[in-house]
């Protein structure tokens, strides 16, 4: 059997195994260490993983029409918005969701999502996590700035971005994460979603090129450190460069690749069309999309450990949603061939909708971490919902074409 045929056979077997797990209602349970993270995430109000989440939604269609996408988008967004407004935070998990709500408001034309984010921003006094005691915030801690900047660009009140701009200016001259820490500013691949859109939007808000120059310099450093030029995927961080899955293959984490795919879309969205660095990002989107399309399983899903779906049989939706978002952005903007990628996107979207419950819960989201892990099918966390909102919003643009 040739190598491509072996890969196809392995993916089909993995998809069948995942389907069997779902039908039997059984799946690998989290280890004690994994469960400890789940318990902590629930305690911190990131989400939950109930034993009985209720029935899966039967009223959603996977058709890529504006009406059908809008229905799924609102169902998930409304369920999450009610939960979000009960407990707010400036941490990255919530920040991803906030940015997703901004995309939802634009996609649906419904101001309630945007108005809720305005209320949150005012409640936080437009500050960042860590406050005055954190003059050198990392990528996670500035991620809420994506929402602040979008709100500022709609209503240019200086207080919305004053603190954020001050912190970015503190970071500009640094070559490392912060004084006394010699790691790169974006030393983990998740950072490529959290930080670049903030810097890119600050360039638009201020008209200052220095913020874009910083993005290009730092992304290239992270690319050189973590991008696997053979696999066309990112290692989560340097500690994973030599680690392997139980099947002997390299560890590439679904959500980690999703963060990069989403980050590419979010950054390219704000880059000038004549930016000389744009081809660098387009090439990554094309290479990663080709790889991810090749390893999509027969059900249209991706697994927490992308190259070892038999060890990680449950589908993982946070990574999948961000992958769909990045691919849809690529198609909508002419970077990816629609004939090649629309079928991949359609399969993935259909699969994602099978994880939406009657009340609007989006399940199948792995808890926080840095590598593949086990979780319950009902597992739902705010950052994963944020990824779903981005995907749906971008798919509405595709439906309008």
Catalytic residues, by residue number, are 190
- The tokens for 240 are 């994973």
Q: Encoding tokens for residue 301? A: 């899903």
What CA–CA distance (Å, rounded) separates 332 from 398? 6
Distance from C-alpha of 136 to C-alpha of 148, rounded to nearest angstrom: 18
CA 100 to CA 185: how far, in whole Å?
24
CB 144 within 8 A of CB 90: yes
Q: Could you tell me if 322 and 394 are in contact, meaning their C-beta atoms sit under 8 angstroms apart?
A: no
DSSP 314: S
Helix axes 382-400, 317-332, angle to 10 degrees: 30
Which residues pair with residue 166 across a beta bridge?
A: none
Continuous segment of H or E residues that includes residue 278: helix 278-295
Task: Give the dihedral sign, CA 317/94/196/203.
Answer: positive
């Amino acid at each position: 059997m040739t190598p491509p045929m072996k890969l196809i056979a392995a993916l089909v077997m993995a998809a069948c195994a995942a389907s069997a797990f779902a039908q039997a209602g059984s799946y690998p349970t989290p280890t004690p260490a994994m469960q400890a993270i789940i318990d902590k995430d629930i305690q911190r109000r990131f989400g939950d993983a109930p034993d009985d989440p209720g029935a899966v939604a039967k009223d959603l269609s996977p058709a890529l029409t504006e009406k059908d996408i809008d229905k799924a988008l609102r169902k998930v967004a409304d369920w999450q918005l009610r939960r979000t407004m009960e407990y707010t935070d400036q941490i990255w998990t919530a920040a991803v969701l906030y940015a997703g709500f901004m995309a939802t408001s634009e996609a649906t034309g419904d101001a309630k999502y945007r108005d809720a984010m305005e209320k949150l921003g005012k409640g936080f006094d437009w500050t960042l996590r860590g406050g005055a005691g954190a003059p050198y915030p990392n990528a996670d801690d500035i991620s809420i700035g994506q929402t602040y900047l979008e709100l500022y660009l709609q209503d240019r009140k200086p207080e919305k971005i004053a603190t954020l701009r001050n912190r970015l200016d503190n970071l500009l001259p640094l070559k490392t994460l912060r004084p006394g820490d010699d790691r790169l500013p974006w030393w983990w691949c998740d950072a490529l979603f959290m930080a670049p859109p903030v810097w890119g939007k600050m360039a638009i808000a201020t008209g200052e090129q220095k913020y874009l120059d910083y993005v290009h310099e730092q992304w290239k450093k992270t690319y050189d450190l973590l991008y696997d030029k053979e696999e066309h995927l990112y290692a989560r961080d340097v500690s994973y460069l030599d680690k392997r899955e139980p099947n002997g293959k390299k560890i590439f984490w679904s959500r980690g690749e999703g963060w990069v795919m989403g980050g590419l879309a979010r950054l390219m969205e704000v880059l000038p069309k004549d930016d000389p660095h744009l081809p660098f990002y387009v090439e990554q989107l094309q290479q990663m999309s080709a790889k991810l399309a090749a390893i999509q399983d027969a059900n249209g899903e991706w697994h927490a450990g992308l190259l070892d779906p038999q060890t990680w049989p449950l589908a993982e939706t946070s990574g999948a949603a961000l992958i769909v978002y990045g691919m849809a952005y690529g198609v909508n903007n002419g970077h990816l061939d629609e004939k090649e990628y629309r079928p991949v996107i359609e399969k993935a979207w259909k699969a994602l909708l099978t994880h939406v419950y009657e009340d609007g819960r989006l399940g199948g989201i792995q808890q926080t971490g840095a590598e593949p892990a086990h979780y319950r099918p009902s597992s739902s966390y705010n950052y994963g919902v944020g990824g779903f909102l981005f995907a749906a919003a971008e798919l509405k643009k595709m439906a309008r074409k």
